[in-house]
Structure 1
Amino acid sequence: MPFKAPRICTCGKVVPAGIKCECQKARKRAADKIYDAKRPNARQRGYDKDWERAAKLFLTRRENRACVICGEEATVVDHRIAFKGDDALRMDVRNWQPMCRPCNSCKNVRREGGFGRKPKDAV
């Protein structure tokens, strides 16, 4: 059975293939901490009690219980078009779709940018 050889990390340690070195994990944690400190919290981004109540009600409807992408149980309400501060668009039920968290995260990374990617226009 073929296997990949271990590699040498930039810190000089020999690391098995497919495993991150502790120094890489520490750098990632530090970068995440900086990003989180700059990012507004959910309330500041527009997700208030009214939104939580409406989203919870939306997901209880039978037609909204499955993710529109994979069919798994929907756990979040996604905005088809990002509302970017537009309150009318934020609360417009026609702009909502049920999604599971993994599909929602992938969609947001693709459309709005993330992990060093440039944002794409909504399709």
Structure 2
Amino acid sequence: MVANGFADNAARIGVLQNDMQTVKQDVRSLKEAVGTLEDKVDTLEEKTDSLSMKTDSLTIKTDSLVVKTDSLTIKTDSLASGQTRILDILLNQTASRAEVRELDHRVVRLEQHLQLA
């Protein structure tokens, strides 16, 4: 009977050792999976940072474009105002020489600004 008890215990120990090996292998597999997930998280963080920088750059470029568009609108409005006055002068011939010179200078300056824009 004692021999049967030892045999049963030996069999149980063998099963437990096999179970322990299986658990150790499962732990190694889980550690590898965690490592892979950590690598993927790092990659996603890098891509998110890159996307954030690109978004910031796009925002800056959009803001710059808005400023340039506003500036161009102001210059275009000013040029249109000058052209309207020149047409009025040409039609009515009511301008003084000083006013004609001033308008001529304004048109030249506006054309230069538009070329720079």
Same fold (TM over 0.5): no
If you compute each CA radius of gyration, which structure gives the higher value, 1 or 2?
2
**Higher strand proportion:** 1
What TM-score do you get using the length of structure 1 for normalisation? Answer: 0.20
